[in-house]
Amino acid sequence: MARLYEKTVPVPPEEFVRVEWESLRSYVADVLKAYNVPEEHSKIVADVLVSADLMGIESHGVQRLRRYTVGIQVGSVNPKTSISIVKESPSTAWIDGGSGLGHVVAYNAMEIAIKKAMDTGVSVVGIRNSHHFGIAGYYALQAVKSNMIGLVMTNSEALVAYTHTVGRNVGTNPIAFGFPTRNPPPILFDAATSVIPIGKVEVYAKEGKKMPLGWAISPEGRLLDDPKEVLARKGAVLPLGGFGEEFGGHKGAGLALVVDLLCGVLTGANYGRNVKHTTDKERANVGHFMMAINIDKLTSLDYFLQRVEEYKGYVKSLSKISEDAEIWIPGEKAWLTMETRKKIGIPVHKNILKEIMEEGEKVGVEFKVKVLKDTA
């Protein structure tokens, strides 16, 4: 039985409430249906958002609901997502997302990638004309469920200051890798190519917290710790590695550039400052890039799973820096957090809870989320 563990602890606890995850997911789906999103699609989006909260990735959880409803209202997002294949081969597909909800576009694109990899061993799918799709790891795990390795990346609207520049010039451009394992959890690496995603700044602003210096800079290049100032003045997040080159900021910027080349340039989607936000009137034209690798076509699946367990054991046996230090495999914290929150509920800040309740009130959807308790 998995131990109770949360990678993010609600602080201060009196400002949070724990809610039951399935009723939260149903509520989010109902709100989206009221905005003319088909039922099947609303369930996909709701599952992606609530999965993020379950995994402790609150930046991409239900706090993003308003972003998508506003996008639908202004006409940027097509609520009735319909993808089309522009060009394909046995192992590749080039997809147009029709400016639909990115979650639905990405889910269906990965299903296509998995189906192709069943036959060809490796598949590549490029997507244009999509929108923000939530957590990249969700779609990598789709491949994992089929005993495949999944690679997923997406570009985003410009939010990051490229090394030695000021202003928002490139996206947070996350990359996710998923690997099946014999024993849970699967290995999942999912990270932005910036120090943090902009959603974390949004969460800090909504919760009234200060940020650590080193996350973001002002339009003039001054380090900021006020998330509201970052958002109001369009400050920029720093690339992975931070300010300048001393700690590898140029490497994070380089990774962001590679993601833009694969997701934007290759697919015909927008890139850099051309990518629009979900709530802009002009369609975002976000690009995604996915790969599915059928392990059994390359080697024996059983052999691979055995070696993965051996490798996990190798990592866990490394000498610790201190007695109380814990060695984690990528995805382990998120999995334990998910298992814990399915039992004790998802902690949602009261300001965020109020915001998602308002989204339902606007369209006559009753708030039927089961509140378990305050976290205090």
How does pLDDT run across 82-118, given as a tens digit for each residue?
999 999 999 999 999 999 999 999 999 999 999 999 9
| Residue 113 tokens, joined | 């990638």
Flag whether 12 is in a domain: no
Gap between the Cα atoms of 56 and 66, Å rounded: 19
Gap between the Cα atoms of 25 and 27, Å rounded: 5
Flag whether 69 is in a domain: no
Flag whether 254 is in a domain: yes
pLDDT at position 3: 83
pLDDT in tens, 184-238: 999 999 999 999 999 999 999 999 999 999 999 999 999 999 999 999 999 999 9
> What is the extent of the structural domain holding 228?
80-343
What's the chain's average pLDDT? 97
CATH of the domain at 211: 3.30.1370.60
**pTM, entire model:** 0.96
pLDDT in tens, 139-198: 999 999 999 999 999 999 999 999 999 999 999 999 999 999 999 999 999 999 999 999
Flag whether 294 is in a domain: yes
Gap between the Cα atoms of 208 and 203, Å rounded: 8
Average pLDDT over residues 332-336: 98
- The angle subtended at Cα 76 by Cα 70 and Cα 82, nearest 5°, is 110
Flag whether 46 is in a domain: no
Flag whether 27 is in a domain: no
Q: Which of 255, 224, 54, 41 is nearest to 133 (CA)?
A: 41
Domain count along the chain: 1
Identify whether the C-beta of residue 188 lies closer than 8 Å to the C-beta of residue 177: yes
pLDDT in tens, 281-325: 999 999 999 999 999 999 999 999 999 999 999 999 999 999 999
